[in-house]
Amino acid sequence: MKKLLLLPFIFCGFLAFAQEPAEDHTADSLRHAFGRQQVQNTAIRGSQYADTLDTGNPAVKVVLYDNGTYRYVKDLKASADSTIFTEFWDTRAVNPYKESPDALPDRFSLWIVDSLDTYCCPYQTTVRSKFGYRHGRRHQGVDLPYPKGTPVQVAFDGKVRISDYVGGYGNLVVVRHANGLETFYGHLSERKVSSGDWVSAGDIIGLGGSTGRSTGPHLHFETRYRGAAFDPSWLIDFETGTLRHRLFKIRSWYFNPNQRYVQDVDDEDEIFRTDEEDRIAAEEQAKKEAEARAKAEAAAMKYHTIRSGDTLSGIAKKYHTTVRRLCELNGIKESTVLRVGKRLRVK
């Protein structure tokens, strides 16, 4: 009976899948469409999942929910670049990457979510303690006031690397995502996942608390790439709960502990420019300047209509210029005969 009930969903699902235009998932094609678009939580919450169905693609499954909704999900186990979840994989060390952030390129891009990946804001609130130096100590993440016992949801799909009690972090969960990014959830009162578990955005990984070096219940949230922490506010607007970028363009200086998110939109435009965009902007600027010069020159042009008795030296004197300049401007010689009624450019 259950199978029969599900049939319409299956059919609708495949119909929708079949009708979808072939998407070109290259970074360039999507950058302009989605690169800077804000993303609300895309994880489905409050409904129980009923069944999972295969599609023609082993890396994509259809998940059916008991409220009649469905969505396509990426099967991370099948689609993940295997090296992301194997290399530098350590279930104890907070930073298993044995390299300095200086080894990272000056700028690079990471896909944070695409049409199949989901996002869930870990907790929508005002950041209490920001990224950067605090009382002479480096603070590698943001502190989000979090009532003790409140479920903590994972931000993106991924695999749990650490679920352990780790010094100052107290109960810590670290999740690695398919793009290489890692998210840290510290001071939990309880951990609900184990190392090696696969998680989807919105899954509950623990409960908020105040374990470790903490003076009150809050979630310590970090974002790291190859071990290097950057201000999570570059990625998530905690006030509104939105993801700032689907395609996240990272500059090496984000990893500098003194650099935190700046909310100046114009600055951001500068920051997020690529080399190609810089080149186009420079070309446009040069074109604008050339046009302005031509316009100014046109506005400054002046003509004299030749009357009977006019001479080049007389005209030059009248317009405070020289005979030579008049010849240059009009492509004539000093010996050229001036014709009455003809216009002569004088400036």
State the residues that interact with Zn ion by CB under 5 A. 143, 220
Which residue's CB is nearer to Zn ion, number 35 or number 168? 168
Whichever of 143 and 231 has its CB closer to Zn ion, that residue is: 143
Among candidate residues 85, 59, 62, 83, the one with its CA nearest the CA of residue 8: 62
Instruction: Name the minimum Å distance from CB 163 to Zn ion.
Output: 18
Nearest position to Zn ion, beta carbon: 220
Give the nearest distance from C-beta 245 to Zn ion in angstroms. Answer: 23
With respect to Zn ion, which residue has the nearer C-beta, 64 or 236? 236
Of 220 and 246, nearer to Zn ion (C-beta) is 220
Least distance in Å: CB of 78 to Zn ion?
35
Shortest Å, Cβ 155 to Zn ion: 16
Q: CB nearer to Zn ion: give 75 or 143.
A: 143
Least separation, in Å, of the C-beta of 237 and Zn ion? Answer: 18
Quote the least distance from Cβ 151 to Zn ion, whole Å: 19
Residue placing its CB nearer to Zn ion in the complex, 74 or 220: 220
